[in-house]
Amino acid sequence: MIDLRSSAGHWLCSVTASIALSLVFAASAFAADKDDVTVATKERPNFGREARAGMQIINRDPEAPLNDREKIFHALSRFSFGPTPGMIDAVQKQGIDAWFDEQLKAREDEPRTLQSQLDALESLTLTNQQILVKYNPPIPPELSNLARLTPEQRRERARLMAMKEIPRQELRDAVLLLAVSSPNRVREASCDFWRNHFNIDVSKGQVRYYATTYERDVIRYDALGTFERMLNRQARHPAMLIYLDNFISRAIPEGELMEAARKAYVESRDYGTVLEAIDIAKQKGLNENYGRELMELHTLGVDNYYTQDDVIAVSEALTGWTVQQDPKQPIAFVFTPAMHAFGARTVLNVKLPANPRNGEAEGQAVIDMLVKHPGTADFIAYKMCRHFVNDRPSPDMVKRVAAAFHKGNKTDLKATFKAILDDPEFNDPANYQTKFKRPFEFVVSALRATGAEVASTNGLHHVLLTLNEPIYQCEDPTGYYDQADVWRDPGVMAARWQFGIGLAMGWIEGVNLPNSTWEGLEENNPLQWKEVLSKRILPMGHTAQTDAALDEVIGHYAKFNPKPNELGRYIVGLLLGSPEFQRQ
């Protein structure tokens, strides 16, 4: 039986010391940073340095270049949803460059536990049609009037309705499980980025039945492939065609135009009015939603290079790109000439010829042009740097990454990732631990840092919903925001803290800390637990304030004579909620 009073006494000394220290540090850090901030903001549009004022890790000079371990931690933070216990050592042994090169090949099989979890999700390997047939059973007419059902009929109806939920449930399970446990870390990080870039929402119409193949055959298929192919594949995928309405976008048949013209003539007897009526009629069939987002969100960026006329021209070029309606055929992309507005047009000041024999080629010409457009390289590089490097990436770095992306019009994503990692600015201390984790990143990194065992995912999906980032449910085609400002809402911030505590205490359904968490924790020595656990969760250290806060909490708990897997759990929860763990 240990003397708790002595440990509490020790705790008190330590608190006093840390508080004193933190005051000294805080004061000097603030004074030193003040001048720096002015210089930094003038010379480069990079606020990393400024953002870290008042947030000094014990024994780390914020100006010092990253050492090898820090570089590894930094790379794993950005390209791996953070390290798992022991991962930094392993990568250090291998060397970060060798690790990254191996990652870019993404050849590793999923480990057995993960694979068996994935195998249990039966919809993952099916085709669109198989999913639709299996999970969208027709509701028999006798079950349609809810008010007049017997209890048995109600149950049957509920069962059929529940079937419809399965594909999207299994999809989000797969996304989460792979993000947490797949050994192909960079591929998963890339999937997360592109899933948001080419956003679809399973809440819209039939999208839920086709999102599974979208994730598999578009996002995952090319996460380490080429942008060109991913762009082409998403443009032809039923989920995207439905989500952004292109499947209904069509040229108005001539008969309807004639009728509109005739009507306008009868009413007005005015040539101008007739032309106007024809224009209006034309617009009725055209849906600009996809044409616009293809430029605004997928390639060039908002208001870059294109005008409203371009939006209309691109939308027209893509009319007839729709989803197979014949129930005997697979549910897939089909080009329907009857819906297509054939003709020559000008897009982004380039004249594109008509192709009366092959209308699909008219839309293809637009996509090809967008792939090669330097504006696309700039926009994609900017977004990737924003995601993987800094909320406000430096224009110089964006330029270099864009060049790697654009090289030989290959839009090669491996080369682009490599360019980001190898860029001299990537390891700038101003980028180190300065990005606020999005909720998804936060949850996944917490599961990884704790080595948590995920037996089922419902609890985690609840958490993601509470944190406003449920998987594949972003309603806006923009995808979830990448920058910190959007995620600092008080409700979301508090929910992060609660998740950290809940995860550690074992209150999240289906999620448990492994027994190895308590290995090496000495009985009745809570301060030693703090040392061990903080090194695991925050391997690169923490601030004096965090240290003092931990000491204070531990001091109070010490009175209750806790066991490692009692107070130790709580310490883990606090570490997950600490300011340090909110960043990557």
254 binds another protein (CB under 8 A): no
Tokens of 578: 């600490």
489 binds another protein (CB under 8 A): yes
Give the shortest CB-192-to-another protein separation in angstroms: 21
583 binds another protein (CB under 8 A): yes
Among 466, 525, 528, 565, binds another protein (CB under 8 A): 466
53 binds another protein (CB under 8 A): yes
Phi-psi region of 205 (alpha: psi -120 to 50; beta: other; left: phi over 0): left
Give the shortest CB-326-to-another protein separation in angstroms: 24
468 binds another protein (CB under 8 A): yes
List the one residue out of 461, 443, 441, 462 whose CA is nearest residue 452.
443
Q: How far apart are CA 506 and CA 515, in angstroms?
A: 12
For the chain, the residue count is 584
List the one residue out of 407, 394, 400, 437 whose CA is nearest residue 422.
400
336 binds another protein (CB under 8 A): no
Among 372, 488, 535, 563, binds another protein (CB under 8 A): 488
Among 21, 133, 365, 501, binds another protein (CB under 8 A): 501
Give the shortest CB-145-to-another protein separation in angstroms: 5
List the one residue out of 188, 215, 221 whose CA is nearest residue 448.
188
Residue 217 CA, chain-centre distance (Å), reads 17
Binding to another protein in span 31-50, by CB under 8 A: 50
Write b or e for each residue in 396-411: b if 16 or more Cβ atoms lie within 10 A of its Cβ, otherwise e. ebbebbbebbbeeebb
Residue 37 CA, chain-centre distance (Å), reads 31
Binding to another protein in span 280-319, by CB under 8 A: 288-289, 292-293, 296
Give the shortest CB-205-to-another protein separation in angstroms: 7
Give the shortest CB-490-to-another protein separation in angstroms: 4
498 binds another protein (CB under 8 A): yes
List the one residue out of 496, 506, 395 whose CA is nearest residue 437.
496
Tokens of 258: 């004639």
Tokens of 470: 């449920």
Give the shortest CB-115-to-another protein separation in angstroms: 26
**What is 199-210 written as a DSSP string?**
---TTSTTHHHH
Nearer to another protein, 50 or 368 (CB): 50
Binding to another protein in span 124-153, by CB under 8 A: 144-147
Binding to another protein in span 159-218, by CB under 8 A: 203-205
Nearer to another protein, 326 or 475 (CB): 475
Q: How far apart are CA 525 and CA 521, in angstroms?
A: 8
509 binds another protein (CB under 8 A): yes
Strands 321-323 and 333-335 come out as antiparallel
Nearer to another protein, 102 or 552 (CB): 552
Q: How far apart are CA 487 and CA 483, in angstroms?
A: 8
462 binds another protein (CB under 8 A): yes
Are 251 and 131 contacting, i.e. CB atoms less than 8 angstroms apart?
no
19 binds another protein (CB under 8 A): no
- Residue 506 identity (one-letter amino acid): G
Binding to another protein in span 403-442, by CB under 8 A: 436
Residue 333's H or E segment, with its range, is strand 333-335
556 binds another protein (CB under 8 A): yes
Are 189 and 106 contacting, i.e. CB atoms less than 8 angstroms apart?
no
Binding to another protein in span 521-550, by CB under 8 A: 545-546, 548-549
Among 58, 96, 160, 505, binds another protein (CB under 8 A): 505
Q: What are phi and psi of 57, to 5 degrees?
A: -70, 140
Q: How far apart are CA 523 and CA 520, in angstroms?
A: 9
Give the shortest CB-351-to-another protein separation in angstroms: 26
Q: By CB under 8 A, how many residues form the interface with another protein? A: 62
446 binds another protein (CB under 8 A): no
Summarize as ranges the residues that interact with another protein (CB under 8 A). 30, 50-55, 144-147, 203-205, 288-289, 292-293, 296, 436, 458-459, 462, 466, 468, 475-478, 484-485, 488-491, 493-495, 497-498, 501-502, 505, 507-509, 545-546, 548-549, 552-553, 556-557, 560, 570, 574, 577-579, 582-583
